[in-house]
Amino acid sequence: MKQISFRFPLVVRGLFLFLAAMATPVVLLAQSDQQMPAPTRILAGKTPVPATGNEAMPQYLPINADQIPASAGSTYIPVDSWIYPALMRLYSMNYLDTAVLGMRPWTRLSVLRMLYATQERVHMDNNPEALRIYNAVLKEISPDLQTAGGWTPHAVLESTYERMMGIGGTPLNDSYHLGLTIINDYGRPYEQGFNDYTGFSTRAGAGRFALYVRGEYQHAPDAAGYSAALAQTLANIDCVPDVPQSTIPAGPIAAQNYFRLIEANLSYQLLNHEFSIGKSDVWDGPALGGAFDWSNNAQNIYSFRINRVEPLHIPLLSYFIGPVRYEFLVGGLRGHTYPISPWVHMEKFEFKPSGNFEFGFSRTVIWGGEGHEPVTIGTFWNSFWSFQNVSVQTKYSTSDPGARFSTFDYTYRLPFLRRWLTQYTDSEVHDDVTPVSAPRRAAIRTGLYLSHFPGAPKFDLRAEAVYTDPSVSPSQGGKFMYYETIQRQGYTNDGNIFGDWIGRESKGGQAWLNYHLSATEFFQLAYRNAKAAKDFIPGGTTQNDFIVKAVKQIRPQVELDGWLQYERWKAPIYKPGGQNDVTTTVQITWYPKIQRSLRKW
């Protein structure tokens, strides 16, 4: 029997060697950590026991079950909110067992239920960092708590912000080919010079209905863009003859000044499902740096969505696989010219066998498009139920099931280190049922997260490695992951990949070291690397980014967010030799939390 070998890129092997060395002091201290005396039980409404260290245990805020509305509508929390890394840190400290990390965003009421389920353990343990996170998130979500007089319909001006970004040097802004200087940023435009984004967010709820709107004015200066020769070369790689197109930033590029809705969705809650229509965030994967199935690397699409926002317990079956969450969305993609205006549908299931482990499967299909196949209920149904290979004749006919991509992910709090280390993996295959059945053909993003350091509880460290260039023959010329014979502009919306920013036939990694001033404030050092294969981009590409970031509250309702990024990149097909660019960003956010009650419900 032929032996199958799995060959991981050097960056993956190096990542785990580094993290194994990093985890050694954690292992040495784990035994003594487990031998700590049991903390005094804290009863709801009472002052918690002071910490044994130099700082006192923070006061906690209890939640009563009757304060959580049973059937009220609730808005999603944007995936770029500070709440997600905070709760992911709380989970990796061995709390928040009911959280499903592989499916985001979460609704505000879902977060309340997660906090309610874990509050007893947070209150009982002698862990000031965990309690600070719990208190900060609860304080943010507490306006949604139900008072003795009942739940009140309301409208809230959530935030206003001004973000100023200056870029010195030529940045990369080509998600489908050469790479991006700014990633996971909703496809916001940027170019060399001064860029500006001024926006607001607001939400409202009435009964089972909820509305969320986030919009902003965006400005990016003009730019030279790609030369006609480079644009044509990239079009030839994609086998898309027409230039210009949204996936190739051919020059000259005009200045951009317009208002854009980042999110705008109306939802209705029914039996723990959110039925919504409009633009809403999606992040389907356990990692922080990227998600193969769906992320915020591109503009959100207008879609119809059904999301099981609370875990479902299935009699007998959940005894083996645990509770399950699932979601479905369908909507149109913008910026495609070959074929024009295809649609996409996505389905995902995430299972939670225990508080320490979860796993999930998803499937995303891009189908239809003008000049190829009409978008109808019939063609949708055909793509929805298609799981087998089809002939070439079928692919080029109106019975084409579409470009099919499937993912598998898991998250695991490691044994004996439940309070310290969490390991997770995200993977995707093209035209296979699941990465589990075709691991050699899978793209992989894997990582480790250390929630705090021994003797330094305010530090945390995360590292991830990613590649989309498996060692199989179809992975050549950029025509495998995120690409398809018919849907040649592939996994993109308005020119940007809506999955993992790493793109096609590439490999790289990311790392973040944080010092937490509070649950909402931190200082961060980060690194990012990406490298595209030479058989995809002639001469290949290399990016190395070094980032310093700080978030600080300068007033109770005013936050200052600043970061500095130095990037060194090489793309011989674009510019000779090494290139440098420096990005400086300052954002001021005001959280007025101006709330108006509409009427008693």
How buried is residue 99: exposed, middle or buried, by Cβ count under 10 Å (0-12/13-18/19+)?
buried
Distance separating alpha carbons of residues 399 and 374, to the nearest angstrom: 10
| Size of the chain, expressed as the number of residues it contains | 601
**Which pLDDT score is estimated for 516?**
97
Residue with tokens 């609370």: 310
Helices 128-141, 108-124: crossing angle, 10 deg rounding: 150
Residue with tokens 């200087």: 181
Other Cβ atoms less than 10 A from the Cβ of 121: the count is: 16
Other Cβ atoms less than 10 A from the Cβ of 111: the count is: 23
Dihedral of the alpha carbons of 312, 313, 316, 322, in degrees to the nearest 10: 90
Give the tokens for residue 300. 């959100």
Other Cβ atoms less than 10 A from the Cβ of 403: the count is: 24
231 by DSSP, 3-state: which?
helix
Distance separating alpha carbons of residues 542 and 530, to the nearest angstrom: 6
Give the tokens for residue 140. 């943010």
Asked whether the bond before 105 is cis by omega within 30 degrees of 0, the reply is yes
Q: Any idea what DSSP says for residue 233?
A: H
Distance separating alpha carbons of residues 85 and 256, to the nearest angstrom: 32
Dihedral of the alpha carbons of 68, 70, 72, 73, in degrees to the nearest 10: 90
**Which pLDDT score is estimated for 65?**
83
Three-state SS letters, 313-342? CCCCHHHHHCCEEEEEEEEECCCCECCECC
**Which pLDDT score is estimated for 40?**
30
Strands 443-450 and 459-467, by their bridges, are antiparallel
Task: Let me know: does 196 contact 163? Beta carbons within 8 Å.
Answer: yes
Give the fold, CATH level 3, of 154-597: Porin (2.40.160)
Q: What is the number of H-type helices and E-type strands within the chain? A: 8, 23
**Mind giving me the DSSP string for 380-446?**
HHHHHT--S---HHHHTSTT---EEEEEEEEEEEPTT-TTTEEEEEEEEEESSS-TTT-GGG-EEEE
Task: Let me know: does 151 contact 109? Beta carbons within 8 Å.
Answer: no
Report domain extents, the chain: 10-137, 154-597
| Cβ density class 260-289: b for 16+ within 10 Å, e for less | bbbbbbbbebeebbbebebbbbbbbbbbbb
Task: Let me know: does 568 contact 544? Beta carbons within 8 Å.
Answer: yes
For 481-521, the pLDDT digits (tens) are 999 999 999 999 999 999 999 999 999 999 999 999 999 99
How buried is residue 178: exposed, middle or buried, by Cβ count under 10 Å (0-12/13-18/19+)?
buried
**Which pLDDT score is estimated for 241?**
82
Distance separating alpha carbons of residues 14 and 463, to the nearest angstrom: 11
| Cβ density class 25-34: b for 16+ within 10 Å, e for less | ebeeebeeee
Other Cβ atoms less than 10 A from the Cβ of 81: the count is: 17
Give the tokens for residue 20. 């194994």
How far is residue 575 from each of residues 78, 170, 252, measured CA to CA in Å? 37, 10, 16
Residue numbers of the chain with a pLDDT score lower than 70: 1-57, 60, 147-151, 599-601
Closest CA to 323 of 88, 98, 71: 98
Task: Let me know: does 144 contact 107? Beta carbons within 8 Å.
Answer: no
Closest CA to 425 of 282, 296, 291: 291
Closest CA to 83 of 125, 127, 138, 123: 138
Half-sphere exposure at residue 54, Cβ-oriented, CA atoms within 13 angstroms: 3
Half-sphere exposure at residue 45, Cβ-oriented, CA atoms within 13 angstroms: 1
Distance separating alpha carbons of residues 494 and 334, to the nearest angstrom: 5
Task: Let me know: does 357 contact 413? Beta carbons within 8 Å.
Answer: yes
Chain centroid to CA 277: how far?
Answer: 20
**Which pLDDT score is estimated for 57?**
67
Give the tokens for residue 199. 């926006």
Other Cβ atoms less than 10 A from the Cβ of 496: the count is: 27
**Mind giving me the DSSP string for 236-285?**
HHHT---SSBTTB-BSPBPPEEEEEEEEEEEEEEETTEEEEEEE---B-S
Give the tokens for residue 12. 């993956």
**Which pLDDT score is estimated for 32?**
34
**Which pLDDT score is estimated for 189?**
97
The pTM for the full model equals: 0.89
How buried is residue 21: exposed, middle or buried, by Cβ count under 10 Å (0-12/13-18/19+)?
exposed
